[in-house]
Amino acid sequence: MRIRLRKHGGGFAGKAGDVAYEVDTDALLEASRTEVLGLVAAANLSARPPKAVLTQRQSQASLYSLQCLGAGHDETLEFHLDAVDESMQELVSWIQDEIAPISTFKPK
């Protein structure tokens, strides 16, 4: 399974604060693969609406997009972290803690 998480910068950083993470679960050690696949299963991505955003956007609230492909998954979700439940927050937290970020900022 491929998991792509993108955090679209909030607040003063704007686009310079955008960060992406990409996970190929086949490339992970067994313990990490088991943990992240368990988090994906707990988050029940296929049962979620494609968007979960705050009704009143806060200036520091980052928008996330998550894409899971393969192993029976083909989901793309867009959300604010405060607009999703704990299982989704735990998946995002694991990705941000365990996977090296990729900057998406390209200066002009």
pTM to 2 decimal places: 0.87
Instruction: Report how far residue 104's alpha carbon sits from residue 61's, in angstroms, rounded to the nearest whole number.
Output: 18
pLDDT of 104 over the 80 cut: no
Count the domains in the chain: 1
Asked if residue 60 belongs to a domain, the reply is: yes
- pLDDT at residue 71, as a whole number: 85
What does 15-78 look like in DSSP terms, one character per residue?
A: GGG-EEEEEEGGGS-HHHHHHHHHHHHHHTGGGS-SEE--SS--TT--EEEEEEEETTEEEEEE
Structural domain boundaries, residue 46? 2-103
Asked if residue 108 belongs to a domain, the reply is: no
- Residue range 7-63, pLDDT digits in tens: 987 655 556 568 999 999 999 999 999 999 999 999 999 999 999 988 876 666 789
Q: Is the CB of residue 4 less than 8 Å from the CB of residue 104?
A: no
Asked if residue 85 belongs to a domain, the reply is: yes
Instruction: Report how far residue 61's alpha carbon sits from residue 34's, in angstroms, rounded to the nearest whole number.
Output: 30
- Residue range 47-61, pLDDT digits in tens: 999 999 888 766 667
Asked if residue 17 belongs to a domain, the reply is: yes
